[in-house]
Amino acid sequence: MSAPQNKTIRHFLDLHHFDTATLRAILDDAATMKRNRAAYADRLRGRTLAMIFEKPSTRTRVSFEVGMMQLGGNVVVLKHDDMQLGRGETIADTARVLSRYVDAIMVRTGPETRLQELAAHAAVPVINGLTNESHPCQIMADIQTFEERCGPIAGRIVAWTGDANNVATSWVHAAVRFGFTLRLACPKPLRPPAALMDWANAEGTGAVVNMDTPEEAVRGADCVVTDAWVSMNHSMEEKQERYDALGPYQVNERLMGLAKPDGIFLHCLPAHRNEEVTDAVIDGPRSAVWDEAENRLHAQKAVLAWCMDA
């Protein structure tokens, strides 16, 4: 099978590549699919998604795999060490070969350059399932969750507390595209790169600001978001340095108490309980993390359908 060459390939790489209308249409489709799953059971019948995992995954793998099945499609799961990619075959050659077999490729990888190279040489849509630099599918699910709980996100306030990591980067992109205020409370060494803030300021649609303390960021916010402080990539020394720097940025009941009374808490998971967030918050009535995890399924079904123009 070779991909059609007579139309533009619909990659889903990063939120800032899209206009607001396109992102909104995808989210509207996700909400419709969630309300009426049976009506879309044949939408991707006969289509196949290849999923490449160069990093471990729970939610990304299960949500994409189940999502394709619910849309009537098929899935091939490829781990890095199981492929010739792990034995020296180039990303470009991998993209060319997979494009002859499947209708779309989802990749969960490290450097964003690997995602970009895959997309540059693929003749089918490529979807960013996570890179070191961004996590757009997660934030699509987050926006869906916020709007289910709180109504339209435009004009609202979202507070991020912790490390300005790949998830935070996609929140910055979303703030600009969806027109809400994003307050970032991060230790100075862990703040967003200047180039990202310059982009947000130049676009001018949303307000993205660095705050000096988590208390300033959270006060009056409609939503409080955080993420894990450490990963497998950090050495023991780096982990301890990060714990020391990020301790004051923990989301606990005191900090959540500064948000709006109906403000919600989001976390992309997995959570390191009682590090970046306490049990009382993540298991409390203001937590929307389980709806958020479920919405990975619905948002990604809509992304898949959009990418395959179905």
* 280, pLDDT greater than 90: yes
| Model confidence band, residue 189 (pLDDT cutoffs 50, 70, 90) | very high
Residue 231 is predicted with a pLDDT of 77
> Do residues 19 and 205 touch, judged by C-beta distance below 8 A?
no
| Model confidence band, residue 82 (pLDDT cutoffs 50, 70, 90) | confident
DSSP state of 107: E
Burial per residue of 154-163, b for 16 or more beta-carbon CB atoms within 10 angstroms, e otherwise: eebbbbbbbb
**pLDDT, tens digit, 9 for 90 and up, residues 216-250:** 999 999 999 999 998 766 777 888 999 999 999 99
**pTM for this prediction:** 0.95
Cα–Cα distance measured from residue 82 to residue 64, given in angstroms and rounded to the nearest whole number: 19
Q: Which amino acid is at 216?
A: E
Q: Which residues are catalytic?
A: 108, 135, 138, 227, 268, 296
> Do residues 301 and 70 touch, judged by C-beta distance below 8 A?
yes
**pLDDT, tens digit, 9 for 90 and up, residues 25-57:** 999 999 999 999 999 999 999 999 999 999 989
Cα–Cα distance measured from residue 160 to residue 171, given in angstroms and rounded to the nearest whole number: 9
